[in-house]
Amino acid sequence: MTITICFECESPFDFDAQALIRQVAEAALASEACPFSCELEVLLTDDASIREINRESRGIDAPTDVLSFPAVDFPAPSDFEAIREEAALFHPESGELLLGDMVISLERVMAQAAEYGHSPRRELAFLTAHSLYHLLGYDHETEEERLVMEDKQEALLEKLGIRLDGT
């Protein structure tokens, strides 16, 4: 798996954010039985930058915690068989499935960790999982979709041993 992680601002963390993002991404793909090696781009930024991206891409002039930009339009979440023959979805040299991009506001990570009473490590892991499931075609537009996505996120973090206290 190729994960390109770019810090657009200084990391506020006392842990290895890149290793955590990689761990969560790999575990999410394994939990969905992804048969491909994948490529993922992650931008870690501040509220001002994510607000600008949010305004340009979604027409919402406000910062947010995470944005997901899927490169694959799955017919159903994690329907890897349906995309197997679509050459344009795979990197021409590496053969990796181009999943898409995620943008995470480090300011939102810190603020939400404090607001929800858990660690920044847990919040970053949660937002990474949330975004990755979006990249795999999951959404939360309906109550049923929301519950499925929440269950997947929480099960993944539990499997990784990332609890509310951040341990």
2-159: CATH number: 3.40.390.30
Check: CB of residue 50 under 8 Å from CB of residue 9.
Answer: no
Check: CB of residue 42 under 8 Å from CB of residue 81.
Answer: no
Sign of dihedral through CA atoms 78, 83, 84, 90?
negative
Check: CB of residue 91 under 8 Å from CB of residue 38.
Answer: no
Per-residue pLDDT for the chain (167 aa), expressed as one digit of tens each? 999 999 999 999 999 999 999 999 999 999 999 999 999 999 999 999 999 999 999 999 999 999 999 999 999 999 999 999 999 999 999 999 999 999 999 999 999 999 999 999 999 999 999 999 999 999 999 999 999 999 999 999 999 999 766 55
Looking at residue 165, its pLDDT comes to: 60
pTM of the model: 0.95
> What whole-number distance in Å separates Cα of residue 125 and Cα of residue 160?
10
DSSP, collapsed to helix, strand or coil, labels residue 23 as: helix
